[in-house]
Chains A and B, each alone.
Chain A
Amino acid sequence: MDIILKSTFVDPCLLCIFDLGVFTTYNYTMNPKVLLTSKEIDIILHRLACQLIENHLDFSNTVLIGLQPRGVFVTQRIAQLLTDCYGVKDLKIGSLDTTFFSDDFRRKGSPLQANKTLIDFIVEDKNVVFIDDVLYTGRSVRAALTAIQSFGRPSSIEFLTFIDRRFSRHLPIMPNYKGRKVDAIADERVEVRWRENQGEDIVYLVK
C-alpha cells in the first residue's frame, strides 16, 4: 500500500471539524507516484473551504489572494466552491506575484519572468488569506508578506497551502490551513496538476 489516506470518502462538511492528522507516505521505487487523485483533491478542497468559512463567516472583511504562478488555481477552485456550494457572496479574490520581492534575485536559477499581479481592491484593514499549492522552503510566502505591504496594511494575514511539505522549511513559516502534509526528501518534487491548465486534477511525487 503506497498511499495511506484516512477519511477519503467522508462527507466533506464533516472533515472541516477535524484537524486532519493524515499525511502521505510513499514507496520510493515507483516513479512518478500518485499522491492524490481527483476525488481526493475535491474532498480536500471542500474541507479547506469549510475551514475558511469557520473562521471568516461571510467573508465581508476577508480577501483571498493566490500566490503566482500556481496558487491562483487553488484560489479559483476554493472561491468557486465557496460561491457555488456554500453561498458566499461578493467574494474578493486577487493574485500576487512575488518575483520582484524574491530574496534570490541574481542567485543561480531564480526566474526573472514575472506573472500578473491583480489586486483591484484595498487590503487596508482586511483579513488577507494567502493561498498557494505547495509550501516548501517558505521563501515565496516571505516575499508575499513583503509584497502585500505595497497595497496597504492588512488587519491580519493567514496562509492556506494545498500541500505542506514538512521538514523542508528555510524560514519559520507555518500554514494556518493545509490540505495534505507530505514528507519528501530534498531531491523529490511534489507536482500538483489542475484541470484548468494541465487537463486533470492529480498530485504526483516526482523523483
Chain B
Amino acid sequence: MSELSVSHLLGIKDLTPKDISFIFDTADHFKEVINRPIKKVPSLRDITIANLFFENSTRTRLSFELAQKRLSADVVNFSAASSSVKKGETLVDTVNNILAMKVDMVVMRHPLAGAGVYLSKKVDSVIINAGDGAHEHPTQALLDSYSIRQELGEVAGKKVVIVGDILHSRVALSNIYALQKMGAEVKVCGPKTLIPKYIESLGVSVELNLEKALKWCDVANMLRVQNERMDISYFPSTREYVDQYQLNAGVLQKIDKEILIMHPGPINRGVEITSEIADSSNAIILDQVENGVAVRMAVMYLLASKIK
C-alpha cells in the first residue's frame, strides 16, 4: 500500500481495513522513534498544523500536540474559551481566518456531530477529527485497536465488549467501526437507557448483564459515564450503576479468566472501574496513552503526504 484512500480523517467509517493496517504498520515505526534518546523526526518540518479545540480536552490535545512536535511540525493552538467564537464568529470564518495564515492541516474537536465533515467541504485544508459530539473519535478508536493488536498479536477474531455509556460515546461508535473492519466481534453492555435503540443494525450484539459479557470477551473497554452530556437521568443513581456495571475484583473473580482491560480516559475511579483494577497488570490504560502518540504521528504523517 502506498498511500491512504482518504484525504481527511473524519471518521473510521471512511477508512478501509487496508488503510487501518497501513496506519498501524507506520505507527509501529513511530513507536520505535518515540523510544529513541532523541524522539524527533523531521518529516513534517514544512507543515503547519492548527489544533482547534471547541470543546475541552486534556489528553487528546496533548497527545496530538506531542505527536506534531515529534514530527517537527509547527503548531498553533486554539481553544474556544478564549476566542472570537464567543463574539459570534462562525466555524467556517474562524477556520478560514486561521488558514489565511498558511496553515496546512487542522485538528478539530467540536461539540457538534458532523462538524469535521462540514468543515472538510468548506475549507481547503486537511482535516483530522479529534472528536465531534457523540459521533466519532477516530484516533481514539485507532489507538484502541492498535493497543489490542500490540497486546494480543492481532485484532481479527478477538471478542471485545464495550461497557458503559454507549449512547453518548463517540469512542464507542468509532471503536465499533474499527474493530469490525479489523475482523473483531463486538458486543456492547450497559444500562438499557444508555444503549442506542438500533445499535444492532451496526452488527453488534447487546448484553445487559456485565458478568455474562465479561465471560464472553477477550477485551473489555470500559467507557466513562458522560454526565456532562446527560440532560436527563438515565439511571436511578450512581450507586446503582456501580452495583450493576462497575468493573471490580469481585466480578473479575467470578468470570475466572484473564481479560485485557482498556479505558479511553479520563477515568471516574470508583464508578465504572475501581482503582485496584485500573492499576492492575491486566489494564493497559497507560499503554493506550503511549500508543496514542505513535498512532497520531502515523495519521498526520500519512495525511501530510497528500498536501501538495
Contacts and interface: CB of A to CB of B under 8 A. Distances in A.
B42 A112 contact: no
Contact of A100 (B25, B37, B38, B41): B41
Contact of B29 (A114, A150, A151): A114
Given A105-B43, A106-B305, A114-B26, A151 B37 contact: yes
Given A100-B33, A101-B43, A105-B305, 19 more contacts: A100-B41, A100-B301, A102-B43, A106-B305, A106-B307, A112-B26, A112-B302, A113-B1, A113-B26, A115-B29, A116-B32, A117-B32, A146-B42, A147-B41, A150-B33, A150-B36, A150-B38, A150-B40, A151-B36
7 contacts: A97-B29, A105-B304, A106-B307, A111-B2, A114-B29, A116-B29, A150-B37
Interface of B: 1-3, 22, 25-26, 29, 32-33, 36-43, 301-302, 304-305, 307-308
B29 A100 contact: yes
Given A100-B33, A112-B302, A106 B2 contact: no
**Interface of B: prevailing SS:** loop
**Interface of A: prevailing SS:** loop
Nearest to B297: A100
Interface of A: 97, 99-102, 105-106, 111-117, 146-147, 149-152
Contacts, number: 53
Contacts of A147: 41
A26 B89 CA distance: 69
B43 A113 contact: no
B43 A100 contact: yes
A114 B22 CA distance: 10
A55 B110 CA distance: 61
